[in-house]
Amino acid sequence: MKRMSGTALALVLLVPALLAQGGAPALDSIRKDDLRADLFFLASDAMKGRLTNTPENLIASEWIKARFERMGLAPAVPGYFQNYNLTTVTLGDKNALEITEGGAPSAIPHGEGYYTQRFSATGEARGGIVFAGFGIAAPDLDYDDYRAADLMKGKLVLVIDHEPGERDPASPFDGVVTSDAGGALRKARAAQAKDAAGILFVSDVHNHPGGGANLTARGAWPAQPSRLGSYSLEAWMSSIRIPAAQISAELAARLVKGSGRTLEELAKASETAHGITAIPLPGVDVHLTTAVNRQPVPDRNVLARIEGTDPRLKDECVVVSAHFDHDGVNGTQILNGADDDGSGIVALLEIAEAYATAARGGQRPRRSVVFAAFNSEERGLLGAWAYTGQPACPLDATVAVLNMDMVGRNEEVPAPDPVAAAAGRGGRGGRFNGLDPQTAESNANALNIIGTVRSPDLKAEADAANRATHLDIRYRYDNNVSQLMRRSDHWPFIQHGVPGVWIFTGLHPDYHQAGDRPERINYDKMERIARMVYQMSWDLAQQKARPALLPRR
């Protein structure tokens, strides 16, 4: 398709927004004093950081439900709570790996050259090995490393970590943002679909030299589990029925020797546009035994809804979201999570109340609006992923997702400490990886919106909704090594084909620290942001047109 000029494209995209129904009703009901009062409760010391699977996290969900009920909003699911299970795992007693080369078997001790993947099923796999490149199946990109399905059946598949072109901004796999298609669990599911008996992972050594050496199980199976807990969705874990293990580059070199090529050569050859044809690895057999104990953990989102008025459009919806969990208590320090993401939750409540106030005055939008308070975002966007698996509004009827996460501070990125940087320690920690140094003062009026690279229509909607609030909206982090694009609850929706954006004032030195407290929030700015998001959601719910989601490159 011929590309339009930037000016022509902008005019086309702005048409739907310019046809919106004007100012959203009850806009002035969104007030900084209400935001402040709510946040001083939600992010108080008494709430102890709202960590997943704690009493305070449950209290937060009950409080949000009570607020929705008091507003008179209908539940989007029965009882407002969308229940689902997370899963934690422990290592079972029998985990073993035996390699047979030239008829001679040798045992590889667990944690010394290999370890069982946390998402592995309990079971056994015995047989020959096939190398399948990155092990990715991505039909939307016409990419498939499993095309030679007849070679996989009954065999163990060896795949390398990550994805092709991981440092290429023009990569179809979401540029330099780590794609979901390159996730290990997705790769295991793809191998399983081709009747593979098991799957082995090894570092993509051509991109990460030395990354697969000296492999131990400490990272995957630490002797002292994290106080934060390690969770996955039960639905994901139960979908894996084959054994899975990570192996060292040294061990993988033994497995590929019979191909006549080195591991580095095979890894480099995997950098293709559409996937490789699998390569059998002669002269070696593997016997893999895995034992993983899975324990379910109840979790829940809180969902409310306001019904649209248009007979044809009311079955479609706009989702406005934020997450209510945070990181709990670290020793004597309470991680209050005022900005992350207490700010988004209290803004969500103010927006929901504006809709309820307008409805009491006889004004409701044409489309329905779902107000989603997601849980367990900090544990891997798990509440949002659970929602996309059982949506309150069908995903193909979901017009857009406006996700607010950290909307209460000014972005502030410290400059690297030159001494630490010279010593190879980065100088400011991985939290700010890929972000330019900047002061809070330089961002006093700034707001980041992430995700419009996949939906320019939503950029036009945001710009139109901002005409009354005059924020300095910046669209700069969609394809950045900071991985911000995939670090909040809009991401699962984009992966399911729904246009979504993350409204975000930016990181700061108190991000995930004890200093993220409610007295440090910029409530004047947060009021303006909440009003802008309300206006944007109202416009999307009113107009006939729907924003489009562009395909990946």
Same domain, 327 and 265: no
Q: Which residues of 534-546 are buried (b: 16+ CB within 10 A; e: fewer)?
A: bbbbbbbbbbeeb
Residue 423 within a domain: no
Same domain, 99 and 215: yes
Give the domain-ending residue among 290, 323, 339.
Answer: 290
Residue 17 pLDDT: 41
Q: How many domains does the chain have?
A: 2
Residue 102 pLDDT: 87
Question: What pairing do the DSSP bridges indicate for beta strands 104-108 and 96-101?
Answer: antiparallel
Give the domain-ending residue among 238, 255, 290.
Answer: 290
Residue 120 within a domain: yes
Residue 471 pLDDT: 98
Same domain, 234 and 302: no
Residue 163 within a domain: yes
Cβ atoms 406, 504 nearer than 8 A? yes
Same domain, 140 and 69: no
Residue 211 pLDDT: 76
Same domain, 326 and 473: yes
The CA distance from 220 to 200, in Å, is 15
CATH number at residue 461: 3.40.630.10
The CA distance from 407 to 505, in Å, is 5
Same domain, 374 and 500: yes
The CA distance from 309 to 367, in Å, is 7
Residue 203 within a domain: yes
Residue 428 pLDDT: 64
Same domain, 314 and 271: no
Torsion angle of alpha carbons 403, 408, 410, 411, nearest 10°?
-40
pLDDT tens, per residue, the chain with 553 residues: 333 334 333 433 444 444 344 799 999 999 999 999 999 999 999 999 999 999 999 999 999 999 999 999 999 999 999 999 999 999 999 999 999 998 899 999 999 999 999 999 999 999 999 999 999 999 999 999 999 888 999 999 999 999 999 999 999 999 999 999 999 999 999 999 999 999 999 999 999 998 777 778 888 999 999 999 999 999 999 999 999 999 999 999 999 999 999 999 999 999 999 999 999 999 999 999 999 999 999 999 999 999 999 999 999 999 999 999 999 999 999 999 999 999 999 999 999 999 999 999 999 999 999 999 999 999 999 999 999 999 999 999 999 999 999 999 999 999 987 766 665 555 566 889 999 999 999 999 999 999 999 999 999 999 999 999 999 999 999 999 999 999 999 999 999 999 999 999 999 999 999 999 999 999 999 999 999 999 999 999 999 999 999 998 6
Same domain, 65 and 129: no
Give the domain-ending residue among 262, 290, 318.
Answer: 290
Residue 64 pLDDT: 99
Same domain, 192 and 308: no
DSSP lists the bridge partners of residue 72 as none
Domain span at residue 98? 94-290
Q: What Rg value do the Cα atoms of the chain yield, rounded?
A: 25
Residue 33 pLDDT: 98
Residue 3, token pair as written in the block:
């590309």
CATH number at residue 192: 3.50.30.30
Same domain, 164 and 245: yes
Same domain, 132 and 170: yes
Residue 423 pLDDT: 55
Please state the pTM of the whole predicted model.
Answer: 0.94
The CA distance from 137 to 144, in Å, is 4
Q: How many residues does the chain have?
A: 553
Residue 478 pLDDT: 96
Q: What is the DSSP letter of 338?
A: I
Same domain, 212 and 347: no
